[in-house]
Structure 1
Amino acid sequence: MIKYLSAFIFLLIISLFSVYYGANDFIAYNIRLPRVLSAIAAGAALGIAGFIMQVVLKNDLASPFTLGITHGALFGVSLSVVFGIGSVFLFSFLGAFIVIVFILAVAFLRRLSSQSIILSGIAISALFGAGSMFLQYFADESQLANIVIWSFGDLSKGDFFNIFLLFFMIMLSLIFFLINSWNFNALSLECAKNVGVKTETLIFISMIIVTLLSALVVANYGIIGFVGLVAPHIVRFFENSFKSLLILSALYGAILLVISDYIARNIIYPVEIPVGIVTSFIGAPMFLYLLMRKK
């Protein structure tokens, strides 16, 4: 309980600081508040998604970014923008859904190792990244600008409706995962089938949920890489139970993204850089460290 409370208080402090420091009331409430709330929601969603993927796939390198889910979602967004069809969120989810179905199908049918699944995700990222670039080649200037902004990650586009929707989905996801915490513990100990857990169903539903969370983040804010990878590993330094890791991954994902957004807004003030660039600078060294530690 102390760990949850301390993480929440720290998140509250840095959020209030990010909203009010050096700003008048108009800027604080109309510009910074939606942006910080967006950072909290997106960071929590990515933290949950990354942690669940690591548990389900039994690989510490799994995350929406490393598995190519965010790139699939970006491809869907690019299709919607270039051809002007459907909703951005629907196409974002469809792109991400195609990626995760392919990964799960290959994993179950070919019985790939967890390392091979990550390599598959990297290949899929390259494939859908090439597809997005192909669409950009035929886009006009306005469409191209929108797609490029989405590829960088931008929290300034958040509005209160989308923030509420993302928080609502986070709460539903947390309820589902907490109710099934015993099943996830059995899955981690590789004794799930022996105690009657329907592992395939649990894995499929879990991956659909985290795909939905990732697609919502991409549709609203673009690609924000490595948050889902880094946040669960920060938590693992001082916690090991499923429930604690889940909740703290959400909190530390939010903390990481709020801090990253503050850095993005102020590191070369008055110029703002996309938050996705900052998270990549933080996450890429962590990814390399994990690769070397896992040999």
Structure 2
Amino acid sequence: MSEEHRETGTGWPEPAEPERPAGPASEPDPRPDAPDPDELSPLAPAGPVEQEDVPPPAEEPGAVAEEPGAAEEPSPAEAKPVSRRLTSAGAMIAVLLALLGFTLVVQLKTTSTDPTLAATREEDLVRISSDLDSRERRLRQDIEALEDSQRQLRSGEQGRQAALEEATRRADELGILAGTLPAVGPGLSVRFDGPDGPDGAISAARILDAVQELRGAGAEAMQIAGSDGTAVRVIASTYFVDGPTGGLVVDGRRLNGPYTILVIGDPATLRTALNIPGGVVASVEEAGGNVTPEDSEAVEVSQLHAPIKLEHARPVS
């Protein structure tokens, strides 16, 4: 030890700890600071504790080792909502298909063959089809005429003149329909022969049926005349009554048979309407009467109806 260490008191070596004497396990530790043997746990192991070897968890049979980054497959619990959604969609599709089938069945039953048409002869069906085609052509011609009038009304300088001509034409048509203007054109002359009266072949009801059939076939103007030449213009308000002593009373005027109806319209269509099975001609012939239609290229309906004075009706502006 150097003189410096002695003077300063530094550098002295630290005393070593006394070693525990090795002796029997039953003897107490002779060190003064040794712990009391009673404080030691009797359950503490005498030697170092070794960790038990725990076997790794066994892999389940059929399990596949997952690769890093592999996507996890959905569990059965997650797959259940998908199954339920698929089941609901299938049920909805089945309900819609059932409703569609029911609708088709109802439509087929609704549009089944009419027994009246099924019992009609083929010739009559052909005539009815021809009449419908004729009416379609006439309606198309009317549409084209109205479209031409519309174009003319919209044209600049000719608009005023076209409007005047259109108003005149409409006034003439309304005058013919109202019976205030005479008319001429192709049509039929229909003669009714037979006993008249309520129980006869030529009654007011059968004459009214004939007028309605002709109107339905496109008649544009009509008048009825008796054997003495007395004529009455037939319009929408015309009525027919059996006379108390025979004959007919038409709009308050008495007519005696045989009767002749002059009608303007397409002759073929008007004739078909009268000869339809179970129609006017058939009913009159069954009652012992006779109906004779004759075509004419120029039927003149000259009898006029007095204008009706309106007291309550006003045009809507």
| Higher strand proportion (structure 1 or 2) | 2
Fold in common (TM above 0.5): no
- Higher RCO by CA contacts (8 Å cutoff, separation 6 or greater): 1
TM-score w.r.t. length of structure 1: 0.22
| Higher helix proportion (structure 1 or 2) | 1
TM-score w.r.t. length of structure 2: 0.21
